[in-house]
Amino acid sequence: MSKKSVFAAIGLITIGIVFGIILVSGLGNGVTLGLAGGGQDVKLGGQKAPVARNQSLEAMSDNFEAVAKATTPSVVAITVTTTGRKTQQEMPQDFFRFFGPDAQPQQGYGSGFIVSSDGYIATNNHVVEDAATDGIEVQINEKARYKAKLIGTDPSTDLAVIKIDAKDLPVAVLGNSDSVHIGEWVLAIGNPLGLNSTVTAGIISAIGRNIRIIQDNYGIENFIQTDAAVNPGNSGGPLVNMSGEVVGINSAIATTNQRYQGYSFAVPVNLFKVVATDLIKYGSVRRGYIGVQIKDVDQTLADAVGLKEAKGVLVDKLVKDGAGERAGLKEGDVILSIDGKEVNAANELQATVASHHPGDQVTLRIYRDGKTLEKTVTLKPRDETVTAAKDTQQKGEEGEESASEKTVSFESLGLTVRALSESEMGQLEVDRGVLITQVRSFSEAYNRQLARGYVILDADRKEVRSPSQLRKIIESHKAGESVLFRVTDGKGNTTFIALQIPKK
């Protein structure tokens, strides 16, 4: 071969190699394609990453990976064969839903996590409450399967404990749910929609949520709210912080289609610790009670009782011979704190008391008639037969009233009342009061949830025995001031309602 031919061959090979490199490589972040037929090269994409790699984000990703790897082994899948549980469509709530066993009435699925090396497992009450005998099966690491025994349930908190016969199991670390804060990153781990060992991330978006989903009369709701994606089957799985500690038990979602739509709710793990300890030791929960019905305090109610700001919770009703009544609490008291911890929502107080047992003592700081007092309450066990404490105040002297005062209208409040006859008092089981005969739509009385048929028993903590007495009390207030009413619905249910005198 001539030298000329050799050089020509070498040149062709070199061109081919370079062309091949161009085809399979993107120099920088762009991609360059050579076109046959002598056309211009086409460049796709930019040549440089717009943002430099952030070491903090890489560390965060590594943290997610480490937490998932450390905690997933303690999470289990639970299959429940039921005795005919309600389907999701039959559940009473339309917006907030428990989301455990999914779909068929005779079998469902949920999650749980191991809390002791010898086989105790945490989950939700609604996951296992309708389980048939020998109807709970637990799967660990997608391999080993065990039949589980139901140790105990607590409908008031939607918690349950089951147990498998095994040893040396990986155990979840329980954190401190009192230390969680809004904005903190968390991971939800479970088995949603039949997908085992699923991990999702989000932040804590609220704490102390009461979504009124627990149907038990003594339901305790103090949920941690998060936007980590959870779905049917996640129920009973752990919500963990960035240290790999369990801070909550995933329990419910806010939804209109029975699937995740942005918010989920977890029972705080501190409440679980108390419940689980009792269930394991005694088979049931030994929970102490103050014996009060309580309600939140808004600004109108605060004004009515003399508080400068809306805080605390109002004692709406006392249980007869309950711990609160024995300690000297009165209806209309405002509980400001328990054992030095401020409470500004009814469910906050419930959750704190729920961590105590009968016989435990708690110190309540209360507001009454412009003064702050302390009361030591010895908690009592729940008694299903207790009744509300009846009004023990003596009848006052009934003021004289003319026939024209048998019915009185308070136009500014949108409220009309009339006197009660003796027979009506007997039927309604009251010894005094005036009957609400009309509430104007969208008025102050309407907006504060007074209703036709209610009986006003007291106003400004004074007994009301006639419309004229009520008129005098209301007229003693200036526009913008609030009046505290104690009312009953005639069925034995009493409550405090505050109305603000509208400004003209």
**Contacts with 347 (C-beta within 8 Å, 6 or more apart), sequence order:** 208, 210, 220, 221, 222
Catalytic: 126? yes
Distance in angstroms (rounded) separating the CA atoms of residues 483 and 473: 9
Instruction: Name the β-bridge partners of 267.
Output: 249
Q: How many CB atoms lie within 10 A of CB 210?
A: 18
Phi, psi at residue 198, to the nearest 5°?
-95, 135
Dihedral (CA of 497, 501, 503, 504) sign: positive
388: which DSSP letter?
B
For residue 250, what are its two tokens?
A: 């995933």
- Give the residue from 50, 46, 19 showing the smallest Cα distance to 31: 46
Distance in angstroms (rounded) separating the CA atoms of residues 48 and 28: 6
For residue 138, what are its two tokens?
A: 């637990």
Element (H, E) at 135: strand 131-140
432: which DSSP letter?
S
Residue tagged active-site, from 74, 111, 126, 482? 126
Residue tagged active-site, from 111, 177, 235, 468? 235
Phi, psi at residue 426, to the nearest 5°?
-65, -45
Catalytic: 158? yes
For residue 146, what are its two tokens?
A: 């065990």
C-alpha distances in Å from residue 201, one per residue of 17, 206, 240: 47, 15, 10
b/e burial code for range 255-276 (CB count within 10 A of at least 16 → b): beebebeebbbbbbbbbbbbbb
Residue tagged active-site, from 158, 278, 333, 458? 158
Q: Which residue has the tokens 């752990």?
A: 238
C-alpha distances in Å from residue 27, one per residue of 53, 102, 382: 19, 51, 74
Distance in angstroms (rounded) separating the CA atoms of residues 74 and 79: 16
Q: How many CB atoms lie within 10 A of CB 149?
A: 13
Q: Which residue has the tokens 């047992």?
A: 357
Strands 42-44 and 31-33: antiparallel
Q: Which residue has the tokens 């009592």?
A: 380
Distance in angstroms (rounded) separating the CA atoms of residues 323 and 155: 23
Active site residues: 126, 158, 235
